[in-house]
Structure 1
């Protein structure tokens, strides 16, 4: 049986003493000396290093401590003094390591030596770098490039990402899925169709002049805590903040800036002026209700000859589809809106009144929007709301999708994409004198399907923990062993590394915070934040091991071992001086990266030019487009006994990295196998706090998906809704359960049934009881 977590109520605000204690704890846990913690003072500073966790914007005038609790955890995790040496692997088989938790695996420390899996001993054995590259290159050349996937996580630099996609295309593949496929691909699909850009339009300075902020489906407390600073400043100016989220997240309720002694004593700032606990999947219905109030208020104003509520001039000059959308809103039934959203019409009217009273509105959203079956349409609905009153392309207003990992957006900008229409293939062909493949590659879901079918034979992972992050784990892990080649470039050991293919390599790399010294001296790299601003980053700490290679060096070595020489590209020169790579990026994308090397350390970063910020719409019709959703409302489960499960992250984690098995804000200590449930639903199911249950996916496809021994925790969540932790609950998500149009796994709305576990006492005295469903 799993050890039960301790559950108690946490009453404190986000930030404050709890945050300071958590930072002190992680520094101690990772053996980062107090004198060594000065590294945090260089985090997110011009000339310093950019945080390796979230992608939130970095201000031009940073605070003395421009890092958050999770950013400090990510830094301590990378600069830890703990190491995983060949001696560690000599002591442990992969079969044994697979019994360890995710936290235990990464807690061992930094990888130091290239390793090759030996099937006879079931262990990783050390291998020389040159031998590894030669063997991997030979394996790649024996495989059909169409059968090889080149995956990227969200933290590789712009320089590495550009080199990686160029290597892959010269090799002959367009299979470049990345972590965006699992989170904000719904954004990348929705926004170009309606406003002509795939990213947000808001800059950090817009938060200084906005007079209203809307939030949809994002837990800022743990996923982008530095964002709480501009939110707190806005709230202190009296800016209303309207939040829609199934759970009440502490950072969107109250926040104490731990850098402010007065606030530490006073108890902090209320953040949300209105908090709407929308039903899981009910955001589109809620937005429809708000838009309906706005349209009907405008109709009344027009009929009475009063000032119009919608921005008529903006709509006439810049938009298409308004009348169709307005007719759709008028036709919606309030009872249906209330049922689908889980909110009353009066709550939605209050939100609409707040929206209509504001001149400049920012709409933020996260994966609570994008990871739904109708995630693309819901993102478009948020655009509809903004367009009604001209809230795109003016100061203090715009759309703000809050991306996750630190450079996941930037990787797409420099060519990491399976969609060839998004990559300047003609320009690459001209620059490097080769013919790139023109066929569309595979997304993350497509890659998983290919692995299950056996059509994917090789996988090169540039960071990440692919097998732990994707759905359908019970099928994916056995299928992974059928790969001919698995290559993982990583800083720490994770669960994907423990499921080998026929030929498997583990290649350790420098972290972003470490000094990267090459032929021309110490190197800098760059990344793009979620406001499309580019930042430079310089490593600050001595590498944890002597023979680590940088990500660009590893990519270049793989390219040289795989490809025939090309006089148009000198991989060694690029590795010797990363500014040469940035010159190549500028030549490939001259409109986006003008004067790249000169500008990369501008305070606050330099913004990429985006037409929608200037009300220039690069859509087929040259307009910003209102759209009528095909499926306005995600219906609740029709079957009795079916719940909707949303996966989420804890305070003690970032993506698949588990810093600790605690979730301070939700009162959980020492365990992650819990499920949060409405107390009334618990009573109906005959459950009490601390009981354990098994969740079984309601799919009807003949595949059994279940997760047992989940400790039930009563929580303020809407009826018929459940919440559990990512990635543990990924085993419950069918691979085919994804957002229409983007194939983002619909992890925020999984239909499941709940079965109470029973405890069966064993016959032998002294034996532990076993759990049975």
Structure 2
């Protein structure tokens, strides 16, 4: 590993003055007046609005400022004073706007009027809401419902998501792919098989009771910075935090709390990780295998010496299935194999295992560094295996904690956004609404993209998001998007998906979550679910960007009324007039989770949906938590491993949230004004004769006969494991083959792509 210092890795902490400066800058850039900036003090509060970026838990007793740098950027981005009216589109053709950078497109401001693409002028033109709904409805009525896809990004409320899935199913399909297909679907596939639930078992209180935390592939400082409060509190109690990640992410290295005057004035940093192991990209299964091997070796030694076991024998006997087969696999795996695939020394892995075995309550935290691999499902199950060895699921201070991205991506699944009919309450929907729901499997995101390429999809309706930029292989997907007969985008800001559009295209601008949503003069509230399975109410508090905007529920209802025949059991207008009636419908559909929904939605800290595994009840075929045996330690069994091949993994910067780019800087990695960057070890640079700052082309190494390349990437020397390189998402998405996805879950394998590098000519 390149452990030498690098001029491109600033030794700065997360938080601190840098964070305050970033917040001040974004408020100024978005022309947010002081009275609107004060809304930040209502963010993630029980009587305020839920952040529109990450889904980290909202505490019952929040800090005075319960927002982070990333959340402040998301809020400023939404309540900006910059607005895009019809005159903007009169001045710019779509072809001209295609030349704009993604940052500049969204930075133009909030969309304010519904728009329809006019091919003759190559411009979007204003259209009335009535005409937009009528025309879209007429087009969708002509199509086979199986040829239409209803995508959602993960930011829509529980109320909107419930209406949206009902619209799709009453129309006639289960084609409900979403952003979870792109990130944590591996979790949703792995955990039910292992522990019988599709979500994590940990809540905020567990962080106050844990005595050890393990991190795998999650960049807390960029993706969920509010979580740093829990990590800092844990470190102050002496709790060890052990991290496995290819890059040394600043949020897991050190933190200065911007809400602590003492820390800000003294620059006192809290060291977050007590051990930091920079494993190879995709080396997670191997590293976890090593941890399990060390635990089993210690247990074998203890048995011979008559000492206390390293395993929780009582828990394993009562609550688990399959240990013997898993243990046989672990013992048959050599340390040499583990070291080779993980890139770590066995001594380092054993050091981490010793801390694990000395701890009584351990939390396993992970992000897309585990899920976005060909063996992403296996990665998650291996973390479960490690936790099960010592009974670290279903007791206070312990459990598994997947950290989700979008603010309601988990919640929309809870209320029916899924392409898998077995996960939706179809019989209940039939009983409540008197229609026969479709029973065939719908398309996930990767399958929808393949069907778009094959010409099988005729229309795409997108509830938020920027799918054109988010998907893999998007260099090859562009032509397919343009061939779609119809695209409909429900959006707040202009993005690439509006420009790479279908033959008929509509943009339907909606209210943002932070804006006051008045229906017939009455202010409405919405709700969402956080990463820990807790439901929260959210009130809009800013005046809308324009009086011409409709709320997301109103837009879904408008589409439903235009597309569907009237149904006496579904009063779309009544739902829009009073969102509490939507919540009543959700409660009727999911009584175990949402009983007394309207009364409970303002519970400080949220109300939690039932998570059986958290109580050591295992809804699996065996009736127990299952150890699973990994197929292989190899990260990419289907991509060539040729001499000179490098493993590329994609990352986010501190200046972005998913496809939204707030700035071209990444202060945590020493990058200014440029996202066309590839981070590379000095050893790999020297082996290829590359100098720091040179521009290169990166090519995907595959055997499918398709050339995938990204040109103009600047090499930056960086401490990263040899054989691995990193580049930004979504700029590097063209390098990910559409078929290069996690087995079973279909999550794009963006964290390990076989590539080669050539110097630019």
- TM, length-normalised to structure 2: 0.98
Give the structure 2 partner of residue 25 of structure 1: 25
- For the residue of structure 2 that corresponds to 1:136, the secondary structure is helix
Aligned to 1:406: 407
Give the drift of 1:35.
3.1
CA distance in 1 between counterparts of 2:698 and 2:312 reads 48
* Whole-angstrom CA distance in 2 between matches of 1:519 and 1:576: 7
Contact 2:375–2:636 under 8 Å retained in 1: no
Give the equivalent residue in structure 1 for 2:337: 336
1:415 aligns with 2:416: yes
Give the CA RMSD over aligned residues.
1.0
1:73 correspondence with 2:73: yes
Offset of 1:9 from its aligned partner? Answer: 4.5
2:608 is aligned to 607
Evaluate the alpha carbon distance shift between residue 9 and residue 623 of structure 1 in structure 2; reply closer, same or farther with a 3 A threshold.
Answer: closer
Answer yes or no: is 1:242 the counterpart of 2:242.
yes
* Contact in 1 for aligned 2:217/2:367 (Cα 8 Å): yes
* CA displacement 1:332-364 (0-9 Å, x = unmatched): 111110000000000000010000000000000
- Of the three residues 618, 636, 641, the one matched with 1:638 is 641
Contact in 2 for aligned 1:642/1:752 (Cα 8 Å): yes
- Tell me how far apart the structure 2 counterparts of residues 592 and 496 of structure 1 sit (CA, whole Å): 35
Cα offsets for 1:88-109 (capped at 9, x unmatched): 0000011011111100000000
Aligned mates of 1:179, 1:714 — CA distance in 2:
32
Contact 1:340-1:635 at 8 Å conserved across structures: no
Aligned to 2:46: 46
Offset of 1:309 from its aligned partner?
A: 1.0
Given that 1:406 and 1:527 are in contact with CA atoms closer than 8 Å, whether structure 2 keeps it comes out as yes
Which residue of structure 2 aligns with residue 679 of structure 1?
A: 682
| CA separation of 1:331 and 1:81: change in aligned 2, threshold 3 A | same
Quote how far apart the aligned CAs of 1:267 are.
2.3
Aligned residue number for residue 206 of structure 1:
206
> SS at 1:710's partner residue?
strand
Q: Residue deviations 1:512-558, cap 9 Å, x none? A: 00000013710000000000000000000000111100000000010
Supply the distance in 2 between the matched residues of 1:237 and 1:669 (Cα, whole angstroms): 37
Shift of 1:635: 6.2
Contact 2:36 / 2:542 at 8 angstroms: preserved in 1?
Answer: no
Checking the alignment, whether the CA contact within 8 Å between 2:8 and 2:718 is kept in structure 1 is no
Aligned partner of 1:557 in structure 2 is 558
1:727 and 2:730 aligned: yes
Q: After alignment, is 364-373 or 624-633 more displaced?
A: 624-633
Does the Cα contact within 8 Å between 2:561 and 2:572 map onto a contact in 1?
yes
2:668 aligned with 1:665: yes
Q: How far apart in 1 are the matches of 2:581 and 2:149?
A: 27
Single out whichever of 324-333 and 454-463 deviates more from structure 2: 324-333
Supply the distance in 1 between the matched residues of 2:652 and 2:524 (Cα, whole angstroms): 34
Q: Is this contact kept in 1: 2:287–2:349, CA < 8 A? A: yes
Whole-angstrom CA distance in 2 between matches of 1:598 and 1:504: 41
| 8 Å Cα contact 2:636-2:752 kept in structure 1 | no
C-alpha distance in structure 2 between counterparts of 1:109 and 1:616, whole Å: 49
Deviation of 1:329 after TM superposition, in Å, equals 1.0
Which runs of no fewer than 5 residues in structure 1 stay unpaired?
1-5, 759-773
- 1:714 paired to 2:717: yes
Q: Distance in 2 between matches of 1:200 and 1:366?
A: 12
Correspondence 1:225-624 to 2 at 5 A = 225-264=225-264, 265-519=266-520, 521-624=522-625
Where in structure 2 are the equivalents of 1:78-93 lying within 5 Å? 78-93=78-93
Distance 1:383 1:9, change over 3 A: closer
Aligned residues: 753
- The aligned counterpart of 1:3 is none
Q: Which residue does 2:222 correspond to in 1?
A: 222
Partners of 1:739 and 1:268 lie apart in 2 by 38
* 1:303-328 C-alpha deviation (Å, 9 max, x unpaired): 22211110111000010001111111
Structure 2: give runs of 5+ residues left out of the alignment.
1-5
State the match for 2:163 in structure 1. Answer: 163
Question: Residues 493-519 of structure 1, C-alpha deviation per residue, up to 9 Å, x if partnerless?
Answer: 000100121210000000000000013
Please give the alpha-carbon distance, in whole angstroms, between the structure 2 residues aligned to 1:631 and 1:191: 19
User: What's the CA shift string for 1:638-691, capped at 9, x where partnerless?
Assistant: 311110000110010000000000001001010100000001110111111110
How far apart are the structure 2 equivalents of 1:733 and 1:238? 41
d(CA) in 2 for partners of 1:502 and 1:526? 35
How far does the alpha carbon of each residue in 1:77-98 deviate from its partner, in whole angstroms, 9 at most, with x for none? Answer: 0000000110000000110111
Contact 1:7/1:668 (8 A) holds in 2:
no
Match for 1:698 among 686, 690, 701? 701
Given that 2:373 and 2:636 are in contact with CA atoms closer than 8 Å, whether structure 1 keeps it comes out as: no
1:634 Cα deviation after fit? 2.2
Provide, for residues 345-393 of structure 1, a one-character-per-residue CA deviation record: whole Å limited to 9, x for no partner.
Answer: 0000001000000000000000000000000001000000000000000
> Following the alignment from structure 1 to structure 2, what is the Cα–Cα distance between the partners of residues 505 and 435?
30
- Counterpart-to-counterpart distance in 2, 1:31 and 1:78: 11
Secondary structure of the 2:592 match is coil
Q: Hey, what does 2:3 align to over in structure 1? A: none
- Check whether the contact 2:741–2:749 (CA below 8 A) recurs between aligned residues: yes
Residue 656 of structure 2: which of 641, 644, 653 is its match?
Answer: 653
SS class of match (2:712): strand
Cα deviation per residue 1:217-240 (whole Å; 9 max; x = unaligned)? Answer: 011110001011100110111000
SS in 2 for 1:631: coil
Instruction: Kindly report which structure 2 residues correspond to 1:105-254, keeping only aligned pairs within 5 A, or say none.
Output: 105-254=105-254
Q: Is the 8 A contact 2:181 2:445 kept in 1?
A: yes
> Could you list the runs of 4 or more consecutive aligned residues of structure 1 that deviate by over 6 angstroms after TM superposition?
none
Q: 2:362 & 2:666 partners in 1: Cα distance?
A: 32
C-alpha distance in 2 between matches for 1:594 and 1:197: 20
Contact 1:458 1:483 in 2 (8 A): yes
Q: 1:519 to 1:7 in 2, by over 3 A?
A: farther
The separation in 1 between residues aligned to 2:88 and 2:117, in whole angstroms, is: 14
How far apart are residue 7 of structure 1 and its match? 7.7
**Does the 8 Å CA contact 2:514/2:542 hold for their aligned counterparts?**
yes
> Matches of 2:698 and 2:462 in 1, distance apart?
31
